[in-house]
Structure 1
Amino acid sequence: MPDPGERILVVGPSWVGDMVMAQSLFKTLKERDPAATIGVVAPAWSRPILERMEEVDEVAALEVGHGEFGWAARRRLAASLRGRFDRAIVLPRSWKSALVPFLARIPRRVGFHGEQRYGLLNERRRLDKAVLDQTVKRFVSLGLPAGEAAQGDFPVPRPALQRDDANLASLHASLGIGSRPAIAMMPGAEYGPAKQWPLEYFRRLAEALIAEGFEVRVMGGPKDEPAGETIAGGLEHAHNLCGKTRLADAVDLLADCRQAVTNDSGLMHVAAAAGTRIQAIYGSSSPAYTPPLTGDAEIHYLALDCSPCFERTCPLGHTNCLKQQPPERVLSAILAG
């Protein structure tokens, strides 16, 4: 009788980019045990991303609002999972993130030390930030034996989201796009303005790209719609798609683009996992910590004395780490790529 494989529940992160990076963990688990079953506890919004990962067998949606404790929802979800998993891997470091595996009575529950989670986790690991110097490495390490993880020299497979060509064809027709080779632009960065390249730079770059024969697709959520209008408004062959597409649509639209110009954001990681060439612009954050997980990326980062500061807004008030990266520099990189 074939080995049924280990049943593993992963408590996933709450950000788009982090959820994409978590696929490196899922890939590692499947490479080591192809018969393993992987379930993911995740916010409902992340289901479209997880459904594009062939390694994920089940999504257990946690219907809790951002910042909400959601005790009743966690108890209900835990009851539905009880007796179905052998091991739980808790990626976030918060106390509440460890509750569902504990309440589900999963025998092995592993995660990093954080927020007094004694008892909730029965395998707590110390996070050595010097060894595990990237978010994705921290995720993958929790799926490895403790001794191997502590060495930090394990392989990190790259995320790869599946593309839906039928959905893409439908989007081309409904949005009136696809007449030219496309370049995506992602001007948003949920973390704050210290990670956002100036909108006037995106606009100038869009104008130059259209003159070179490209179509520009500005991507983002509803909150990015005004930024998208600043970039694309009044320009022929420029489309403000912010707030007009679902997350699953973004995977297909980005996979269809030649390149993507992006801040350090969740959509940057989606584009990289969709196979798009990335022009990644870094300001207050560091490409060493959260790089696009692809071999086809150009990093635009000045490494000024004041960066990376990891602040939401520039503490010096000038944002030179972004303003000193002109659109002409990015345009040259795109045309050379």
Structure 2
Amino acid sequence: MPSARRILVVGPSWVGDMVMAQSLLKTLHEHDPAVVIDVLAPGWSLPIIERMPEAHQGFDLPTGHGELGWGKRRRVAERLKTIGYDQAIVLPRTLKSALVPWFAGIPRRTGYLGESRFGLINDRRPFNAERLPQTVQRYVALGLPPDAAQPPPVSHPTLTVDRERQAILIDELGLNRDERFVAFMPGAEYGPAKQWPVAHYAALARALGRRGQRVLIFGSPKDAEVGSAIVGAAGDAAVNLCGRTQLADVIDLLALCDTAVTNDSGLMHVAAAVGTPLVAIYGSSTPGFTPPLSDAARILHLGLACSPCFERRCPLGHTQCLTRIGVADVLACLPA
């Protein structure tokens, strides 16, 4: 009996993109249920990969963002060479992302044309942004034959929730199990042109508090200041958890919440993948590119003439694509 096919997926470097990569893993399993899939990605993303049933295991690529890390990639490749992969699927379009599969001698190396990767990628796919406008579509298409219909059908990500760990976190954080929680994700790693104003979040938290709901604010330590500002204006209606939880904890706690309000961010995709209904607010980006992959998502996007600009900071200095989305607009999208 032939051994199962083994595939190494070289993952992306952003939280939301890593969540969306699960759609590729699902597609590979749908077409070959016996396939064994490993994921090579930055170490911070391993807790996400562990919550993907389709992933056999995750490997840490210990390079910094933008770092070539020639020696580090060679050492990782030597380890992976012994596994005997049949194929590598390289999701990023950078040259450095294709190095490990090449060093490891994986015979079929699939990826899009980009950054002079001839030779490194030998199953080269043309990159057509018009036929594949969404990031998740681009990922899934790499797992299908070159002549497959585009855009391909996409299965939504579904991260596993650890209910036992969730119960422990409720106690450790001093939360009341009987309260109704609303998650806020006010940060955006990309930049302030994707962040709904802090004053708007604070006003929304006060309104939710009057309705008997409690706001849990999630984010990295970089978002702690924003979280504190919201709590400072909203009082007991909000709890700042930015920097107080690990990524795996956030997965479990988002599943606890009745709903979520979020910028276009990585945690938006996490909330969607655990099935939490959400309201996604878009400013400089567009839901046409990275929408929340959930049937329970509401999107607020004004579509101004200057939007999307995809800039980190508003080039016009007013960020009206965000400021003109009012608290009442968001509150109207949330269940009472």
Same fold (TM over 0.5): yes
Instruction: Give the Cα–Cα distance (whole angstroms) in 1 for the partners of residues 231 and 6 of structure 2.
Output: 47
Deviations 1:222-279 (A, max 9, x none): 0000000011136114110000000000000001101110000000000000110010
Deviations 1:30-65 (A, max 9, x none): 111110000100000000000000000011111112
Q: Which residue of 2 aligns with 1:273?
A: 273
Instruction: Give the Cα–Cα distance (whole angstroms) in 2 for the partners of residues 4 and 293 of structure 1.
Output: 34
Q: CA deviation at 1:77?
A: 0.6
Instruction: Give the Cα–Cα distance (whole angstroms) in 2 for the partners of residues 293 and 4 of structure 1.
Output: 34
Instruction: Give the Cα–Cα distance (whole angstroms) in 1 for the partners of residues 9 and 285 of structure 2.
Output: 27
1:137 partnered with 2:148: no
Instruction: Give the Cα–Cα distance (whole angstroms) in 1 for the partners of residues 331 and 229 of structure 2.
Output: 19
Matches within 5 A, 1:1-337: 1=1, 3-83=2-82, 84-148=84-148, 151-178=149-176, 179-233=178-232, 235-335=235-335
Tell me if structure 2 keeps the 8 A contact 1:5–1:33. Answer: no
Larger mean Cα displacement after TM superposition, 172-181 or 216-225: 172-181
Tell me if structure 2 keeps the 8 A contact 1:4–1:36. Answer: no
| Structure 2: unaligned runs, 5 residues or longer | none
Tell me if structure 2 keeps the 8 A contact 1:39–1:56. Answer: yes
Tell me if structure 1 keeps the 8 A contact 2:205–2:237. Answer: no
TM-score (norm 2): 0.97
SS at match of 2:132: coil
> Aligned partner of 2:323: which letter?
K
> Aligned partner of 2:152: which letter?
F
Instruction: Give the Cα–Cα distance (whole angstroms) in 2 for the partners of residues 65 and 284 of structure 1.
Output: 26
Instruction: Give the Cα–Cα distance (whole angstroms) in 2 for the partners of residues 221 and 297 of structure 1.
Output: 23
Tell me if structure 1 keeps the 8 A contact 2:47–2:247. Answer: yes
Q: Could you list the runs of 4 or more consecutive aligned residues of structure 1 that deviate by over 3 angstroms after TM superposition? A: none
The count of residues paired between Structure 1 and Structure 2 equals: 333
Q: CA deviation at 1:154?
A: 2.3
Instruction: Give the Cα–Cα distance (whole angstroms) in 2 for the partners of residues 137 and 58 of structure 1.
Output: 23
Tell me if structure 1 keeps the 8 A contact 2:89–2:142. Answer: yes
Identity of aligned residues (%): 56
Instruction: Give the Cα–Cα distance (whole angstroms) in 2 for the partners of residues 255 and 73 of structure 1.
Output: 36
Instruction: Give the Cα–Cα distance (whole angstroms) in 2 for the partners of residues 66 and 154 of structure 1.
Output: 30
Deviations 1:182-212 (A, max 9, x none): 0000000111111100000000000000110
> Aligned partner of 1:323: which letter?
T
Instruction: Give the Cα–Cα distance (whole angstroms) in 1 for the partners of residues 65 and 288 of structure 2.
Output: 28
SS at match of 2:147: helix
Instruction: Give the Cα–Cα distance (whole angstroms) in 2 for the partners of residues 217 and 163 of structure 1.
Output: 18
| Structure 1: unaligned runs, 5 residues or longer | none
Larger mean Cα displacement after TM superposition, 210-219 or 175-184: 175-184
TM-score (norm 1): 0.97
Tell me if structure 1 keeps the 8 A contact 2:132–2:151. Answer: no
